[in-house]
Every structure is written in C-alpha cells, then in structure tokens.
Structure 1
C-alpha cells in the first residue's frame, strides 16, 4: 500500500494561534512579507464571523526547524514543527488580531517585526 503524502486535519482557530504563540508554526524563508491591508484583515474576520469558508491552510511538517522566521516579535518557547506553505496572510492576521497589534502592509506581524492590528479590526 502507498504511503500517504499528506493528511487532512481540522484544527480550531484558537489552537492555530496558540501553536504560533508557542513557536510550533513558523514561516519558511521563501515566504513573502505580509502584504494584506487593514481592509483585508477586517474582511477575513467578517467572513469568519458570518461562517463563510475562508480557505484551507497548507503546512510542511519539518520535525524541528531551527532558525525559521517566527510570526510576531516575541520569543517562542519551541522550535517550529510546521512551516506555513499556504495561509501566511490569514494566520498572521489572526495572530495580530488576537494580540491587538497591526497586521497588513503597513505593519507586519510576520517577519520578526512587531505585529499590529488596524483600528477598524479592533471593533
């Protein structure tokens, strides 16, 4: 029988943000900087609130990736086990909103700079 190359897993938003906070989810070097505008962050939250699908996420299971770019500026407790292949903008936005910091093109939560949340997303 063939070995599965991927797994389909459901994870709660709170668990995803917690894994980012711990450092278990990080960014590979190939990821671009955060480019979302405050309006895109707001629209993501609005879509989630209304129960609309907001896409899937794709992670690369690396085991333990030392030196991966972390989301946010704070020190992480663990080495990354998963690198974000698809979903960086959405996850960075969720992380930034949870921490009441700007996210988007004007303030990045994704490349080691302090994350921020636009005032429109705080309401």
Structure 2
C-alpha cells in the first residue's frame, strides 16, 4: 500500500484529527510521534507528503527536513511544516531546511487539506 501522508507530530489529539479528516477523503496516512520514528517511517513507507512539527521531543523539525531533503535513495518528499513557531525567523528556517510549505497552528483543516491535495496532485 502506498502512503500519501506521514504526520510527524507529538500532539496525539492533533495528529488523530488530521488523520481522520484525511482518511475520510481517501488519503492514506501514517503517524509518527517523534522525529526518530518519523525518519524511520519516511524511508520505510516513502510517503509523498510529510506534515512536520518543528518542536518534537527528540529531533527538531528543521533537522528532520534537512536529513530527508538531502538523503539518499532518490527519495524527495514534499515537507509541509505545521507549527506554532511563527516568527519570521521560523519561516526562514523552514525555507532554508528545504520545506515546501509552512502552516501556522492553529490552522483550518480545509486549508491543510487543500495544500496537501495540491502537492499530491503534483506528485501524480
């Protein structure tokens, strides 16, 4: 089974909300609770889009994004940062680390769905 979206998020309620909304729209989702698990899941399942929090308990999102964007195996996921880190410098870090989009928490689920759908359509 192909995974469309990997959510790397330590807030369980948020990741479940997003997962349910995507699943109802036939978007396949897998969830990682921390950065190490997220990196492992990314290389194992090769999702098309990764929704990535910046503040994780083990590795920050910037480092995860850099690792995935410069990794091997010709795997280049779309990375969408979902974060409460909303300073101008945070947006610059997202861009510098290779992020493709940046959505501030709290976000509208319809905005997130639209963003992910656009990226999935590009990957097809």
What TM-score range do you get, normalising by the shorter chain? Answer: under 0.3
With normalisation by structure 1, the TM-score equals 0.24
The structure with higher relative contact order (CA 8 Å, sep 6+) is: 1
User: Greater helix share, 1 or 2?
Assistant: 2
Structure ID, larger Rg: 1
With normalisation by structure 2, the TM-score equals 0.24
